[in-house]
Chains A and B, each alone.
Chain A
């Protein structure tokens, strides 16, 4: 597993990602394995992140959509 934290582009259909563009590569999302959410401390920031664990043609990726940063990849599973 690698920590990445890089910006990515994600194509969605009905709020579900189907394609991820990362480092000039394009990867199709095969399944959504898991999803969860976090919210920053409400008294300082109000950042909200929607995490998705997706299986792609490049392997399992942990990506999230942040209300501040946009789409990011956070982890890449071997």
Chain B
């Protein structure tokens, strides 16, 4: 046998330039019969290498490289035990702050050790070999392609003979083919932080770190013994890391019983509570079927473990909700993992599990994002710190990062590097050559630009480093270090060396513990309602047909509502007009790339509104597509059509679903096409219809929801809409606290005001740590902004203020500055600017002056012994009153939102110019299709890739917000104007129900129109300069904080 024994892939992170797949392909072309992957301190590429080897009929062997006293040493696993030993050693090494490894029989007896001595001083090599107390230590010889290489190799061979250690051919491979040499050299420059003009010992001046053929190697290394030892090593190392079975975590089950029996028992207990008599028999039959499948797949333990985690979270008061395909299962529903009844919503269990399923199923559970950490900590304690770890994600080079790293390595100055990386989008599917003009605008059209483009192109897609998956927690019955090295991320989280696909291939079970800020928002809202109104809201028990809630949804007043708050969703709501919970499920699913790109939205809406007849391509499709009016919207429907219409077995139908939804490999699609059509024809469908149905199904591209996921999300949509409708103050306060949505704070405060809820400015006496509620004598509720909303007031500062005021109330500004003597001047200034001292000193300018003087006069940083105020009334000069525009600007600067919408200041002039408020536009009848002019502050700018160059700008004024669609030619014409923060737009009004939008024809910058620059006719006259009292600010003194 022959193969490369010392091969680093790009998983050595900037120390290898080819993927395992590329290495395997090149090895196969060179006639190798085996490949040993030895990445530096890791086995990251193990799964990919084994899969690629299996495709090319090459033996895959796993190992890793470590560095001992500056010399590379390879550990190669002889068996699965050896692989476990490597994983344990790497885990230990990486969790113990990279302590040097000691290699001996006790920790790696089933491994082969190769010391790569070429290029090192022989005494040094001897020293390293002497530290390894192991029976299988080889001296690796290689051709390093530098002058006198043969002489150095001969000396190394002499040393090996002297030490009575066998020699083995171990050519140092860092890339698959010589062409990749330049990429590797670039990576070395990036890794070492040098430019390509700098010499460095790690850089090579040849391309001989590619894979060699046996013949070529024999010519430069004339040592038969080394080749026969290589063959012997390759023969004796035999194992696979891809098992046939899965390794679920072990559930806590009483002695003498089994996991499946416990599962039966739990389901039997709950089913009677959840189902009435008329559906009980159907539910019991479904449970029996699902439990059979779960038993067959040996997943009973896994279900019990997830049940245990969910129960523990609920017992701790942590809101959680299952989502994804797990919601297709009645067992998940009965165990409390998901909240949606699969029978009621016609959810297909086979989308989640079936006996033909390969790999482990995904169960995703969202937890209150504020308390997700508690759940993870509990899981680590419950299942053992050695049995739990997070899944990794591979952070690969994307455009910006590649440009930054490559430009630095090419020796470009830092400011140019920064400008270059900012000139391309963060996420793009185009290649770098498409951005040549953008880059040339920064650095000029110089020859080096072409080199940069080549370098960036070569780097794209290569792994840069390992990241942390958003929630994938692996639970295992055996210590994880038996399967994978476990390392610590930068923030101390245990993480394995594989991503989710590799983890699944290894048979490990992953449970997605996801943090959802909307759940934190809902929890906080329920808590505020309980505290301030004394009501306990059971969201799982609220009726799903609340009229007021659906009316709000139909009006599109959904800013802040989960999943349906975007402008696109509001537009869709206006057309769709959901009236039932099922409509909400469909609403959530409609606004996805799959249905949008597949052109399924408009036909569905037309059918739902009765303007188009409901038809089916074939009668067999009616039961599958009936509830979506003949339109394919859900992944389950694709699976069902493939299974029931085209007669595919379930596992093949599931593969088909995955293929059309995500993968769309052309060759596989062609194969599936013939299977689909032949299957349908065999069932008696005529070929033309089969072809039409296939075309329709295959258009279900991109990401579409599965029905269960949409149903689980729709529940949260409904709950959040219900809370906003019935408890707007508590809901908006909680929403501002957690900010789960897409709008900025100022828009949220405006939305609260539109809901009739006043927002009180931060106050040093009343504000708390979080957003709270304040109530006046008539029971009117307002939102009290917290201390932490003030810029620079970190949680520690807020705690210090609350701690101090809990001793006794602050008396005046002197008292505040005295008692908070530890606070720096800039923080106190911001507090004064924010209006948080208005209670004691209503004139902000005076408050700011007093703070400044006290801070200047206090010579020591401790309070004075005698109770003498630092500032007397007589000391304060007559300061000019703060103007409204100053006040609002300071509000915005100091706590992120003005107390009154800034457009109020422009209104008088705008009325003169016949620029209408957004509220007026919303009141215009649907029949009015004339040209209108409006103005506002830009709160959103979106140019979705599916919109064909259209830009959507959302403007907001003091009366509401409105979406403005800017067609590509207008966008191009007013490119500079559209970059401004406040605009005046003119165009045709479009109206659908309560929804209004403008198709923009002309754009002006608001400041230019009303006088924002010196010399303009209306300079300073355009803005109202009235004092604050004239503006509609709520009287804050009538509210008390009863939180």
Contacts A37-B206, A48-B207: A42 and B181 contacting too (C-beta < 8 A)? Answer: yes
Measured between alpha carbons, how far is A34 from B147 in the docked complex, in Å? 7
A26 on interface, CB distance cutoff 8 Å: no
Instruction: Report the tally of A-B residue pairs with Cβ distances under 8 A.
Output: 39
A35/B182 in contact, CB under 8 A = no
A41 on interface, CB distance cutoff 8 Å: yes
B185/A35 in contact, CB under 8 A = no
Closest chain B CB from A13 CB (angstroms):
12
B839 on interface, CB distance cutoff 8 Å: no
Cβ contacts under 8 Å, A48 to chain B: 207
Cβ contacts under 8 Å, A16 to chain B: 219
- Out of B148, B182, B185, B208, name the residue touching A37 (CB < 8 Å): B208
Contacts A16-B219, A42-B181: A35 and B196 contacting too (C-beta < 8 A)? Answer: no
A34/B196 in contact, CB under 8 A = no
Closest chain A CB from B475 CB (angstroms):
47
Cβ contacts under 8 Å, B151 to chain A: 34
Measured between alpha carbons, how far is A51 from B150 in the docked complex, in Å? 13
Closest chain A CB from B405 CB (angstroms):
15
B220 on interface, CB distance cutoff 8 Å: yes
- Out of B145, B182, B196, name the residue touching A36 (CB < 8 Å): B145
- Nearest opposing residue in chain A for B143, CB measure: A35
Indicate with 1 or 0, residue by residue over B1002-1032, a CB within 8 angstroms of chain A CB atoms. 0000000000000000000000000000000
A39/B181 in contact, CB under 8 A = yes
A38 on interface, CB distance cutoff 8 Å: yes
Contacts A41-B196, A42-B185, A43-B196: A35 and B208 contacting too (C-beta < 8 A)? Answer: no
Contacts A37-B206, A38-B206: A43 and B147 contacting too (C-beta < 8 A)? Answer: no
Measured between alpha carbons, how far is A54 from B826 in the docked complex, in Å? 77
Cβ contacts under 8 Å, A21 to chain B: none
Contacts A16-B219, A43-B196: A38 and B205 contacting too (C-beta < 8 A)? Answer: yes
B149 on interface, CB distance cutoff 8 Å: yes
A4 on interface, CB distance cutoff 8 Å: no
Closest chain A CB from B151 CB (angstroms):
7
Indicate with 1 or 0, residue by residue over B844-885, a CB within 8 angstroms of chain A CB atoms. 000000000000000000000000000000000000000000
Cβ contacts under 8 Å, A41 to chain B: 196
Chain B interfacial residues counted at CB < 8 A? 19
Measured between alpha carbons, how far is A16 from B181 in the docked complex, in Å? 24
A58 on interface, CB distance cutoff 8 Å: no
A42/B145 in contact, CB under 8 A = no
Contacts A42-B185, A43-B451: A35 and B149 contacting too (C-beta < 8 A)? Answer: yes
B146/A36 in contact, CB under 8 A = yes
A5 on interface, CB distance cutoff 8 Å: no
Contacts A16-B219, A43-B196, A43-B451: A36 and B206 contacting too (C-beta < 8 A)? Answer: yes
Among A4-22, those with CB < 8 Å from B are 15-16
Interface extent on A, as a size class? 10 to 19
Cβ contacts under 8 Å, A42 to chain B: 181-182, 185
Closest chain A CB from B216 CB (angstroms):
8
Contacts A16-B219, A42-B185: A37 and B196 contacting too (C-beta < 8 A)? Answer: no
Cβ contacts under 8 Å, B181 to chain A: 39, 42
Closest chain A CB from B793 CB (angstroms):
51
A37/B150 in contact, CB under 8 A = no
- Nearest opposing residue in chain A for B149, CB measure: A36
B149/A34 in contact, CB under 8 A = yes
A34/B205 in contact, CB under 8 A = no
- Nearest opposing residue in chain A for B148, CB measure: A34
Measured between alpha carbons, how far is A42 from B179 in the docked complex, in Å? 10
Measured between alpha carbons, how far is A48 from B149 in the docked complex, in Å? 18
Cβ contacts under 8 Å, B182 to chain A: 42-43
Contacts A41-B196, A43-B451: A35 and B150 contacting too (C-beta < 8 A)? Answer: yes
Closest chain A CB from B23 CB (angstroms):
21
Among A22-78, those with CB < 8 Å from B are 33-39, 41-43, 48, 51, 53
Closest chain A CB from B871 CB (angstroms):
67
- Nearest opposing residue in chain B for A48, CB measure: B207
A37/B451 in contact, CB under 8 A = no
A51/B205 in contact, CB under 8 A = no
B207/A51 in contact, CB under 8 A = no
B205/A39 in contact, CB under 8 A = yes
B219/A51 in contact, CB under 8 A = no
- Out of A33, A34, A36, A39, name the residue touching B207 (CB < 8 Å): A39
Among B150-206, those with CB < 8 Å from A are 150-151, 181-182, 185, 196, 205-206
Indicate with 1 or 0, residue by residue over B228-252, a CB within 8 angstroms of chain A CB atoms. 0000000000000000000000000
Among B258-289, those with CB < 8 Å from A are none
B147/A37 in contact, CB under 8 A = no
Q: List 12 A-B contacts (CB under 8 A).
A: A16-B219, A33-B150, A35-B145, A35-B149, A36-B145, A36-B149, A37-B145, A37-B207, A38-B205, A39-B205, A39-B206, A39-B207
Residues of B that sit less than 8 Å from A by CB? 145-151, 181-182, 185, 196, 205-208, 219-220, 410, 451
